[in-house]
Structure 1
Amino acid sequence: MADQTENGAAGGNGAAEAPQVKMQIVGQFIRDMSFENVASQSGFSGEVKPEIAIQVNLDARKRGETQYEVAIKLSCKSNNASDQKPIFILEIDYAGVFNIENLPDEQLHPFLMIECPRMLFPYLRRVVSDVTRDGGFAPLNLEQIDFVALYRQELARRAQAESAGTA
Structure 2
Amino acid sequence: MAEETNQQQAPVPPKMQVLGQYIRDMSFENILAQAGVQGEVQPDISVEVALDAKKRNVDHQYEVVTKYTVGSRNKTGGEQLFLLELEYAGIFHIENVPEEQIHPFLMIECPRMTFPFVRRIVSDITRDGGFPPLNLDTVDFLALYRQEIERRAAAEAAQAPVS
Q: TM-score range by the shorter chain?
A: over 0.9
Corresponding residue number in structure 2 for 1:61: 54
Deviation at 1:12, TM superposition (A): 5.8
Is 2:156 aligned against 1:162?
yes
Distance in 2 between residues matched to 1:146 and 1:21, nearest whole Å: 21
Aligned counterpart in structure 1 of residue 96 of structure 2, from 95, 102, 119: 102
Deviation at 1:96, TM superposition (A): 0.3
- Deviation readout 1:117-163 (Å, 9 max, x if unpaired): 00010000000000000001011110011111001000000110111
Distance in 1 between residues matched to 2:32 and 2:5, nearest whole Å: 66
Corresponding residue number in structure 2 for 1:21: 14
For 1:117-132, what aligned pairs fall within 5 Å after superposition? 117-132=111-126
- Deviation readout 1:77-115 (Å, 9 max, x if unpaired): 111111111100000000100000111101100100000
Corresponding residue number in structure 2 for 1:74: 68
Distance in 2 between residues matched to 1:113 and 1:120, nearest whole Å: 12
TM-score by length of 2: 0.93
Corresponding residue number in structure 2 for 1:135: 129
Give the root-mean-square deviation of aligned CA atoms: 1.6
Distance in 2 between residues matched to 1:40 and 1:113, nearest whole Å: 36
| 1:45 partner letter | Q
- Deviation readout 1:40-73 (Å, 9 max, x if unpaired): 0112232100011111000000012110000110
Distance in 1 between residues matched to 2:95 and 2:145, nearest whole Å: 22
Distance in 1 between residues matched to 2:80 and 2:8, nearest whole Å: 61
Aligned length: 160
Aligned counterpart in structure 1 of residue 146 of structure 2, from 138, 149, 152: 152
| 1:14 partner letter | Q
Q: Secondary structure at the match of 2:143?
A: helix
Is 2:36 aligned against 1:52?
no
TM-score by length of 1: 0.91
| 1:23 partner letter | M
Distance in 1 between residues matched to 2:95 and 2:20, nearest whole Å: 16
Q: Specify every segment of 5 or more residues in structure 1 that has no aligned partner in the other structure, as ranges.
A: none
Q: Secondary structure at the match of 2:48?
A: strand
Runs ≥4 residues deviating over 4 A:
none
Q: Specify every segment of 5 or more residues in structure 2 that has no aligned partner in the other structure, as ranges.
A: none
| 2:142 partner letter | V
